[in-house]
Structure 1
Amino acid sequence: MLIVMGGLPATGKTTLARLLARRMGAIHLRIDTIEQAIVRSGLARPPLGPVGYFIGYALAEEHLGQGLTVIAESVNPLLVTRDAWRAVGVAAGVPVAEVEVVCSDHAEHRDRVTSRSIDISDLRLPKWQEVVEREYEPWHREHIIVDTAGRTPEESLAALIHRLDQASP
């Protein structure tokens, strides 16, 4: 299975993806990790454009081909990237679940943005104004929405697993 997780920075995507990967024994592909590795290599500087996503698509295809479940996590702000992830799953012949992680409490989201710590060496985290002004196209296709506002990570994980179970054929 391919689980594609997206959402604005600091909504809880990474925390949720890590918990889900641990629970499912899945591969967690984080685009921030890929992109920061490229930056550290000295071959490019931010913004990188689509290169991190293309590497992610290739890695997902490789892991899915080995029969592994993949959780692809990124902001995933554009329909074109969402379509590309879906195409990877379709080409691999696996079910694709699209998950948008949101934090509907504006004050809580802002607090998360301003108080979170860096977990990838040298990664520059966006400021609140950058998060608010970020290009982020609405999701028009049917997908799972997990609202992390007012929930513990474990409560958000339980909600996601419940929705994934409902979506399974």
Structure 2
Amino acid sequence: MLIALGGLPGTGKTTVAQTLARKLAAVYLRIDTLEQAFIRSGSGQADIGPGGYLAGYAVAADNLRLGLTVVADSVNALQVTRSAWRNVALEAGVPLFEVELICSDTTKHRLRVEAREADIPGHQLPTWKSVLERQYDPWNSQHLLIDTANVSVEHAVETIIRSLSVSPPDTRAS
């Protein structure tokens, strides 16, 4: 199964995705890690465009074809990236489960963004201003929505796991 998480920076995606991957003994795939590796590779190009996502899709597909569950951690802000994750699952012949994380408490969200420290060497974290200005397309596919403003990481992970066993994920590409 491919579990694709998305949401603006500071909503808790990475913490939830890592905890979920640990609990499921799944492959953890973080687009920020891939993008930062490209930047450190010495290409001299800070803007790598879709490279991180394209690498992520390929690594996810390899692991899905091995029969492993993959937890993909990315902002996943655009319809095109969400569609690409759906295509990865479809081509690998596995179910897709999409999760969107939001933080409805603007003050809490801003504090999270501004208080974060990079956990990837050299990674430039977004500012609150850049989070507000980021293009973020509305989701038009079946997905689980979790508001992290008032739930713990453990509760969010348990909600995902419960949802995985209750309702079959939608694997249709759109």
TM-score, with length taken from structure 1:
0.96
Q: Does 1:116 align with 2:107?
A: no
| Mapped partners of 1:125, 1:148: distance in 2 | 19
2:87: which partner in 1? 87
In structure 1, the residue matched to 2:172 is none
The 1-side partners of 2:160 and 2:147 are apart by 9
- State how far apart, in whole Å, the 1-side matches of 2:12 and 2:37 are: 22
Secondary structure of residue in 2 paired with 1:53:
helix
Off by >3 Å, runs of 4+ in structure 1: none
Identity of aligned residues (%): 51
**Distance in 2, Cα, partners of 1:43 & 1:146:** 37
The structural deviation recorded for 1:167 is 2.3
SS in 1 for 2:29: strand
Partner of 1:139: 139
Q: How far is 1:27 from its partner?
A: 0.4
Q: Any idea what SS the aligned residue of 2:72 has?
A: strand
Which residue in 2 is equivalent to 1:103? 103
Retained in 2: the 8 A contact 1:38–1:44? no
**1:60-118, Cα deviation, whole Å (9 max, x unpaired):** 01000100000111001110111011001001110000111111111110010010111
Which amino acid is 1:134 matched to? R
Q: Name the CA distance, whole Å, in 2 between partners of 1:34 and 1:24.
A: 22
Residue identity matched to 1:2: L
Describe the SS at the equivalent of 1:22.
helix
Distance of 2:45 and 2:59 partners within structure 1:
22
**1:144 partner letter:** L
Residue 15 of structure 1 aligns with an amino acid whose one-letter code is T
Partner of 1:68 in structure 2? 68
d(CA) in 1 for partners of 2:159 and 2:107? 22
Q: Match of 1:164? A: 164
Distance of 2:138 and 2:44 partners within structure 1: 29
How many residues of Structure 1 are paired with residues of Structure 2 in the alignment? 169
Q: Deviations over 1:127-148 (max 9, x none)?
A: 1010011011000111111111
Instruction: Select between 67-76 and 149-158 the one with higher mean Cα deviation.
Output: 149-158
Q: Structure 1 residues 44 and 67 mapped into 2: Cα distance closer, same or farther (>3 Å)?
A: farther
Find the residue that maps to 1:89 and give its secondary structure: helix
Query: Aligned partner of 1:111: which letter?
Result: L
Distance 1:35 1:94 in 2: 25
| TM-score (normalizing by structure 2) | 0.94
Per the alignment, residue 59 of structure 2 pairs with 59
Q: Which runs of 5+ in 1 are unaligned?
A: none
